[in-house]
Amino acid sequence: MPISVTLGARTWLERLWSGIADRGRPYADVPGIARPPLVRAELLARSLLSERGEASGAAVARELLAVLHDLNPEDRAAFRQFLAGAFLPDEDALRAAARAYLDEPSAARAMTLFEKAEPPRQEVLRRMNMAPGGTAALVQLRRELLGELKKQPELKPLDADLHHLFTSWFNRGFLELRRIDWDTPAAILEKLIDYEAVHEIMGWDDLRRRLAPDRRCFAYLHRALPGEPLIFVEVALVRGLASAIQPLLAPPEGSSPDADTAIFYSISNCQDGLRGISFGNFLIKQVVEELKGELPQIRTFATLSPVPGFRRWLKRRLDRSADVLLPEEEAAILALHPPAEGEERPGAAALLDSLADGEWWADAATDAALRKPLMRLAAEYLTRPNTGMGNIDPVARFHLGNGARLERINWRGNTAPRGMAESFGIMVNYLYDPDSIEANHEAFTRSGAVARSASVDALLALPAVAAPKPRGGYLPRLLGGTTEGSDKPAA
């Protein structure tokens, strides 16, 4: 189904709900417009719970969204506080249900306890979603909310309710995968330029390059947010593993060899209000299936990923300890800046931080001195066990948690300022091998073990880690992997 059909279906739904709301307005309890806007919004929210008819409820919900749209920022903040603090479960009814369950545990009493524990606020949000544009309004409300949580923790119950509802409303079964190409409506193409979060799209010519015949772009859309991608992935079709991003983004030079590898080089979440709702793992796996069907010669699926936390982590380590660098590494770095007579020699940590500014990588001596220690330390950073406490690189956590293998660490993979600032330009290939993806995922989530290649082990100067034994299961079959015990490559 083309995107235009999706947009048309949404327009039809809006007309339907608008008609229902129009017919329901005479029956709805809508406060008069003479009241202050914030007071009116609060009264409309309370009125939503008292409406029993579908048409009258849609009329109140539409009126509430119209009022919210026109509130000034201060009143919108106050309304969020109102939603978070009001509509709490009935304390007496909840206590009685809890006591009844403890006295006689049963499925029926557990269900009663569950019903009494759910805050009426969730029903208010569900009914707000009945209005045309209700989903978009609630996603925007959560986007504003997330920016206030640290300073206003009292908003957390509202955030928890929105997250709970979005998890259901944006379930994978409701998402539509769409290939984005140059024939996609311009309104959506503009969104890709705006939302690209990894490698900035420098205008329409750059976007055209990323949608060229040797490229692919796929996005998830949702019928309730017409024309708004939720997440998109950019793919380069190349021969062999790509080791640097600049060549992938550059204009093509003549004809390219037959591709055998799909490189996922950018994944961008588009809706801040849907933060914490997982789309990326489904997206990668579904795109793999799409590419395998379209291009059976593509047999390797990997990423070219940033390492956004590496430089920050290394600075903390160097600040805490003088034993981070091996003696020969420290000597090579110190030799780059011999002190003048009478000058105090800077420590390796300070020297490393000062050297890694500007285009240091263009100087052969500096490049050679920094390559070995930084590659070794990057391998150490990326292979630390996952303890579940957030101490692993966020991009690594995403791909390793999906069952990918840390395949290769690339020196000078991204020489753009952002790449240098985050990771000294280091980038990583994570390999999605259908035969081991499930075993890798289980090992990572259960024990924190990081699946990695022999080349990564060589950087660590450690014994190679035996690859997890593949086992038959749903995920290998989903990605076209072999069954347990087979040594044939995936199709």
Is 314 within 8 Å of 350 (Cβ atoms)?
no
pLDDT computed for residue 58 by the predictor: 81
**How far is residue 315's CA from residue 322's CA, in Å, rounded to a whole number?**
11
C-alpha distances (whole Å) from 29 to each of 54, 83, 151, 463 are 13, 19, 35, 72
Q: What is the DSSP string of 307-350?
A: -TTHHHHHHHHHHH-S-SS-HHHHHHHHTTSPPPTTPPPPPHHH
* pLDDT over threshold 90, residue 71: yes
pLDDT computed for residue 400 by the predictor: 92
Is 266 within 8 Å of 242 (Cβ atoms)?
no
| Partners of 266 in beta bridges | 234
Question: What interhelical angle do 134-146 and 54-70 show, nearest 10?
Answer: 40
- For the chain, which domains are there? 3-169 (1.20.140.90), 172-303 (3.40.630.180), 310-478 (3.40.630.150)
State the DSSP H helix or E strand holding residue 178, giving kind and residue range, or none if neither.
strand 175-179
User: What's the distance, CA 195 to chain centroid?
Assistant: 12
Q: Is 364 exposed, middle or buried (0-12, 13-18, 19+ CB in 10 A)?
A: exposed
- Enter the tokens of residue 154: 């009292």
Give the range among 204-208, 239-243, 459-463 with minimum mean pLDDT.
459-463
**How far is residue 104's CA from residue 98's CA, in Å, rounded to a whole number?**
10
SS3 labels along 354-395? HHCCCCHHHCHHHHHHHHHHHHHHHHHHHHCCCCCCCCCCHH
Confidence of residue 434 (pLDDT cuts 50, 70, 90): confident
pLDDT computed for residue 315 by the predictor: 87
pLDDT computed for residue 257 by the predictor: 67
**How far is residue 491's CA from residue 487's CA, in Å, rounded to a whole number?**
12
Helix (H, G, I), strand (E, B) or coil at 159: helix
List residues with catalytic annotation: 305, 399
- Enter the tokens of residue 54: 């579908």
pLDDT computed for residue 470 by the predictor: 47
Is 256 within 8 Å of 238 (Cβ atoms)?
yes
Question: What interhelical angle do 91-103 and 107-117 show, nearest 10?
Answer: 160
pLDDT computed for residue 384 by the predictor: 83
pLDDT computed for residue 130 by the predictor: 86
| Mean pLDDT value across the chain | 84
pLDDT computed for residue 338 by the predictor: 76
DSSP 256: P
* Cβ contacts of 221 within 8 Å, gap of 6 or more: 3, 6, 175, 176, 178, 227, 228, 229, 230
Is 381 within 8 Å of 446 (Cβ atoms)?
no
**How far is residue 137's CA from residue 66's CA, in Å, rounded to a whole number?**
10
What number of other Cβ atoms are within 10 A of residue 297's Cβ?
10
Query: pLDDT digits over 218-249, tens only?
Result: 999 999 998 899 999 999 999 999 999 999 99
Q: Structure pTM?
A: 0.81
Is 388 within 8 Å of 364 (Cβ atoms)?
no
